[in-house]
Amino acid sequence: MNALVVAGVLIVLLGISYQTGWSKSRNLVTADGVKVHSRPQYHGSFTAIWAMIPALVILLLWAWLGGGVTHNYIVSLIPQDTLVSLDQVGLNATVGRIQAIASGYGVAGEIAPYEQSAGDALRSFNFITFAGTLVLAVVAGGAGLIYARSRITARLRARNSVERVVNVLLLACSAVAILTTVGIVASLVTEALRFFTFINPLDFFFGTVWAPNNAGGDNHGSYGLLPLLAGTLMITAIAMLVAVPVGLLSAIYLSQYAPKSFRAVAKPLIEILAGIPTIVFGFFALVTVGPFLRDFGNAIGLQISATSALTAGVVMGIMIIPFVSSLSDDIMNQVPRTLRDGAYGLGATQSETIRNVLLPAALPGIVGAFLLAVSRAIGETMIVVLAAGNAPILRGSPFEPVSTITVSIVNQLTGDTDFTGPQSLVGFALGLTLFVVTLCLNIFALYIVRRFREQYE
């Protein structure tokens, strides 16, 4: 309700100020031969900016400080003798009760007389401050409007001012990307450091037992990263064993052999795999691939669990096939034609050219592409949550259930946000590990790919 009122007032202010600037600009008298510097739209925008900024500043100030002021006002409403008897928790509860009375939702239990009167006082206080802020904002906006209008002359360089504001807005938007990274690093590091106040970092990074005690209490359990890391690496290795041959060979066939018409059909079809949500792959792994591998294992006398590193790895491999194939395709297309023509000229067959000339030349780039694929596999979550079996035990067989870093983050963090014990904070330590590992892989891979591109430019 309040938000709608504020938005409505701001839109009206915007419209009026733009219109004012625009019409004044249209009516500028240019008798003395001076050309009007800016077009009417710019004068309109100029006035609108001058009107909106003071109004927005006042509203934002209130949004920022208003909560504290209201809180202090409520505290001042509580009688002195009651106030002394309350501790911090009790005070917060009382403030909450008074706010609930003021909002009209009502509260449980008996309402003390002072609470009722405080609630009534708060209701009028809320109304007065809201209306006051809004009026103040409108007045400030109006003042800005009048000032801007008075400045509009034929010589005013309104376009330049407006463009400066636009530039600042654009810069602010690109700062969002930086802020995201800062937010990621800040949240991961602060919460991970809090985790390390409970658990020694050495026990975390080199521990071999993963057994968090989720029940709470003084015994936190043990948080050894190594079983999770081993599971992650095993699944990633299996995924690459599936994705690299299939992806690379199909990229070679599509880019070197296939007729145009076949390529036009097959390439988008393979790339469908990249667009399928990972939860769908997870379901596919859980209900189809897992049971199939188990039955297949039984048939050849192998004990394979339905949810295992193998199941998750194979399906994750399928998922990253298009990733590997389109990246290698790009890389191979960048190898200069002359290298291939040279090989053909010496009488090499097409496959000999590809194996002995094209692939060695493209190798660094392809390795970079593989590393990007590895980083994607390490960070993948839903497939492993559903199909890896969630057994954080250090063991070497790919036919057994395992667990990964991402699975443990999901297990430790879902539904719980008070972040007080190591049980949930460990999610951030794991996240930090994941972030650092994938970041290093990405930077290294992008560096290799860039070096490779420069080589042939």
By CB under 8 A, the residues from 357 to 386 that bind other proteins are 372, 375-376, 378-382, 385-386
The 173-192 site mask, x for binding other proteins (CB under 8 A), equals: xxxxxx-xx-xx-xxx-xx-
CA distances from 158 to 12, 79, 169 (A): 22, 56, 17
Task: Dig out the tokens for 230 from the structure.
Answer: 């081993």
What DSSP character marks residue 63? H
CA distance 118 to 227: 58
List phi, psi (to 5°) of 389. 95, -10
> 206 or 262: whose CB is closer to other proteins?
262
Check if the beta carbon of residue 21 is closer than 8 Å to that of residue 149: yes
Residue placing its CB nearer to other proteins in the complex, 27 or 174: 174
CA-derived radius of gyration, the chain: 33
Residue 25 in contact with other proteins, rule: CB under 8 A: no
Q: Closer to other proteins by CB, 175 or 241: give it.
A: 175
CA distance 347 to 343: 7
Interacting residues with other proteins between 277 and 336 (CB under 8 A): 277-284, 286-288, 318, 321-322, 325
Counting residues that bind other proteins (by CB under 8 A) gives 89
Contacting other proteins within 388-407 (CB under 8 A): 406
**In the complex, minimum distance from the CB of residue 275 to other proteins, in angstroms, rounded to a whole number:** 6
Q: Which range binds other proteins by CB under 8 A, 147-155, 229-237, 333-341, 434-442?
A: 434-442
257 lies in the binding site for other proteins (CB under 8 A): yes
User: Shortest CA distance to 293 belongs to which of 331, 344, 238?
Assistant: 238
Q: Which of 150, 338, 417, 454 binds other proteins (CB under 8 A)?
A: 417
Shortest distance in whole angstroms from residue 134 CB to other proteins: 22
In the complex, minimum distance from the CB of residue 398 to other proteins, in angstroms, rounded to a whole number? 20
60-70 core/surface letters (b: 16 or more CB in 10 A; e: else): eebeeeeeeeb
Q: How many C-beta atoms surround the C-beta of residue 250 within 10 A?
A: 20
Strand runs labelled E in 184-271? 210-212, 221-223
Strand partners, 221: 212
For the bound state, the minimum distance from the C-beta of residue 103 to other proteins, rounded and expressed in Å, comes to 16
Closest CA to 267 of 201, 333, 186, 355: 333
Question: What is d(CA 314, CA 270) in angstroms, rounded to the nearest whole number?
Answer: 16
Does residue 16 interact with other proteins by CB under 8 A?
A: no
Residue 4 found at the interface with other proteins (CB under 8 A): no
Site for other proteins in 156-175 (CB under 8 A): 159-160, 163, 166-167, 169-171, 173-175
Q: Which is closer to other proteins, CB of 118 or CB of 238?
A: 238
Nearer to other proteins, 107 or 189 (CB): 189
Query: Which residue in the set 350, 356, 360, 455 belongs to the binding site for other proteins (CB under 8 A)?
Result: 350
Q: Is 443 in the site for other proteins (CB under 8 A)?
A: yes
Q: Is 225 in the site for other proteins (CB under 8 A)?
A: no
Tell whether residue 245 is a contact of other proteins (CB under 8 A).
Answer: yes
Q: How far apart are CA 161 and CA 204, in angstroms?
A: 55
Tokens of 269: 């079809």
Binders of other proteins in range 37-96 (CB under 8 A): none
